[in-house]
A and B are shown apart, each in its own frame.
Chain A
Amino acid sequence: MIENTSNDIEESELIAKAQKGDRKSLSDLVKMYESTIFNFAFKICRNHERAEHVVQETFFSMVKSISQFSGNSKLSTWLYTVVSNHCLMLARGEKRREKTFFNEDISDSPNYTPTEWKNHPDEIAENEELRIALDKAISKLPEDYKIVFMLRDVEGLSTKETADIVELTIPAVKSRLHRARAFLRDELNKIFSDENKKNYL
């Protein structure tokens, strides 16, 4: 999540300077958000090359339009909107939806099979198999579900902020979030069950 801290003042000053043509301030803004936007794009695109392309286009939009940024919303919200749109455009262009296995009725058939999850969040940095499992699970979600899950759960935006960014109603965001959480949990449960059988993870 992009933190809302005292850095907000610094950010406002950077935006004001950048709007007056100060390219060093523009560069500092890019550096401030580069990692957050790259991580967001990577988790949607599931591919370094595509994520890099999306990040470049997102910041290109920022550089091009910074003079028109009104400050009515946070810069982070504006960047999330732009990066989400670029991810969706890329996905539509590649017709990636055809490759998904997402069942819209997933919430009607949750998998209750209790499986002991041997992994813990703090192991992710050292556990390549776990990262592959997370990639595999989220790659099956349609892009619009991934974006809602990422904005709301991973980046920590409110339901209202998420709804504004993806241009959906609040109930529609809640519905997508509900299904995405249930789907990801069930996918990971299946993977971990299989892996446990193989005593792999």
Chain B
Amino acid sequence: MKIKKITCKEVADYICETLGENLNSPKCKDIKDHLEHCEICNSYYKSVQETVQMYKQYKIKVSDDCHSRLMKYLDLAEFE
């Protein structure tokens, strides 16, 4: 039986390169197999996913004052 040797470093690099992309290549399959059996890499993978997700969810509300200043700056205040 052929033993696939993928290092954790390769896995980490691959996760950061391909997160969110189509993971159907033969190498991706090897990575997935590795992730299933390597707790450290699996934890790393989840934390990279969560990093991206946290920044996606982080929203700032535009204050009314900030909005008013923008419309005034653009000379569009009459359409408030």
Instruction: Please list the residues of chain A having a beta carbon within 8 angstroms of any beta carbon in chain B.
Output: 23-24, 26-28, 30, 34-35, 38-39, 42-43, 48, 52, 55-56, 59-60, 63, 107, 110, 112, 114-115, 117, 119-122, 124-125, 130-131, 134, 138, 149-150, 153-154, 174, 177-179, 181-182, 184-185, 188-189
The residues of B that contact A189 with a CB separation of less than 8 Å are 47
Q: Find residues 1-37 in chain B having any chain A CB closer than 8 Å to their own CB.
A: 8-9, 12-13, 16-17, 19-20
Q: Which of B47, B54, B67, B74 is the most central at the interface, judged by chain A CB atoms within 10 Å of its CB?
A: B54
Instruction: Please list the residues of chain B having a beta carbon within 8 angstroms of any beta carbon in chain A.
Output: 8-9, 12-13, 16-17, 19-20, 39-40, 43-44, 46-48, 50-62, 66-67, 69-71, 73-74, 76, 78-79
The residues of B that contact A179 with a CB separation of less than 8 Å are 16
Sampled A-B contacts (8; CB under 8 Å):
A34-B67, A52-B69, A56-B73, A56-B74, A124-B54, A124-B57, A178-B17, A181-B19
Bound Cα distance A81, B66 (Å)? 22
The residues of B that contact A188 with a CB separation of less than 8 Å are 47, 51, 54
Q: State which of A154, A174, A182 has its C-beta within 8 Å of the C-beta of B55.
A: A154
The residues of B that contact A184 with a CB separation of less than 8 Å are 51, 55
| Identity of the chain B residue whose Cβ is nearest the Cβ of A34 in the assembled complex | B62
B54 near A42 (CB under 8 angstroms)?
A: no
Bound Cα distance A43, B59 (Å)? 9
Q: State which of B17, B55, B58, B70 has its C-beta within 8 Å of the C-beta of A34.
A: B70
A114 near B16 (CB under 8 angstroms)?
A: no
The residues of A that contact B52 with a CB separation of less than 8 Å are 153-154, 181
Closest approach, in angstroms, between the C-beta of A115 and any C-beta of chain B? 8
Bound Cα distance A59, B50 (Å)? 32
